[in-house]
Every structure is written in structure tokens, then in C-alpha cells.
Amino acid sequence: MLELKSLKELLDLFDPSVHQKILNLAARAEFLVVFENPTFDSSAFGDRTVLKVGYGCTIKSVEAAEGEHLYDLPSQRQYPVRFWRNPQGLVQ
């Protein structure tokens, strides 16, 4: 999984209409992990989701996220591809 060097890099992956939601999530996250659909022959190809990972979350670490996927339908599945580490650590 590729580490993003800045929050701006992460935001650039998403539509500006969701940037504020991502910023709100980032304010209280250890990590944000970007999941993406890699299936070329799927109508969901390239769809992305950002997920908060770390203390107090279902997925506790970036390493644990690597074995996960979102969505059950194979053509809709999204896999972790990038992550951002909050330089402030966990802010509660």
C-alpha cells in the first residue's frame, strides 16, 4: 500500500464535494485508508472510499487493513491502495 505524503494528496483523489467530510474525518483519525475498485470490467471500476483506521476503529492498523475489502459483491469490491498517516497522531 502506498503512503500519501500529505492530506492534499488524499483530497486530490476525491471530488471536492466530499473534501469537508474527509477533513472532518482526518481531524480525529490516526490513519485514513483509501479503498479502490480495481476491476477493469466492472461499472464500479475506480470507485473510491476513504476509511478511518486506528484506535477505536474496527480496523486497528494499516497492516490489518491490507487483508480487508469493502463490499461483498466481487465486481463492487474495493481494496486498500493508499493511506495517510496523521502527523499529529490520534486527536480525540
The reply to whether 37 falls in a domain is: yes
pLDDT digits over 58-88, tens only?
A: 999 999 999 899 999 999 999 999 999 999 8
> According to the model, what pLDDT value does residue 91 have?
55
The reply to whether 90 falls in a domain is: no
The reply to whether 23 falls in a domain is: yes
Look at the chain and report how many structural domains it folds into.
1
Residue type for position 88: Q
**Location of C-alpha cell 481494496:** 79
The reply to whether 91 falls in a domain is: no
The pTM is what?
0.91
User: Residue 34 is part of which domain span?
Assistant: 2-85
In angstroms, rounded to a whole number, what is the distance separating the alpha carbons of residues 25 and 7? 11
The reply to whether 66 falls in a domain is: yes
